[in-house]
Structure 1
Amino acid sequence: MADPVPHPYSIEVSPVAKPEGHFQWAIRKSGKLTERSDRPHRSEAKAFESTMEAVERAMKPGADGGRR
């Protein structure tokens, strides 16, 4: 994946057991889990796109890293 993840964030995109062929993601800040996907994504690319959007939200001033 070409998009760099800004420090101190890291992301994990992994397959889920059900439904088969779908993916989930998690965001960590300095190693601590801050957010994870609440639904499976149909492809690894879609999951990665979704997690990058979540990282951008978390980086906004005053953001607590969660959804509102």
Structure 2
Amino acid sequence: PANAWILYRSARTHEFKAREGCPAVPQADISKVIGQLWRDETPEVRRFWEGEAQRAKARHRQLYPG
């Protein structure tokens, strides 16, 4: 299952592409921008994404026990 960073990056990538209107931006450039956003996020936002990651992990455990 995806960790907090991956979930955050995925959500922000969709926002970034919609806002910029340019899906041709290289993923490496998008990752750099979103990486800086992640580093600048508040502890509350990081906790939210950590919770999302825990829920994804629990769903994965239910779907694929053992």
Pick the TM interval, shorter chain: 0.3 to 0.5
Q: Report which of the two has the higher share of strand.
A: 1
Could you state the TM-score of these two structures normalised by the residue count of structure 2? 0.35
TM-score under structure 1 normalisation? 0.34
User: Counting helix residues as a fraction of each chain, which structure ranks higher?
Assistant: 2
Q: Larger RCO: Structure 1 or Structure 2 (Cα < 8 Å, ≥ 6 residues apart)?
A: 2
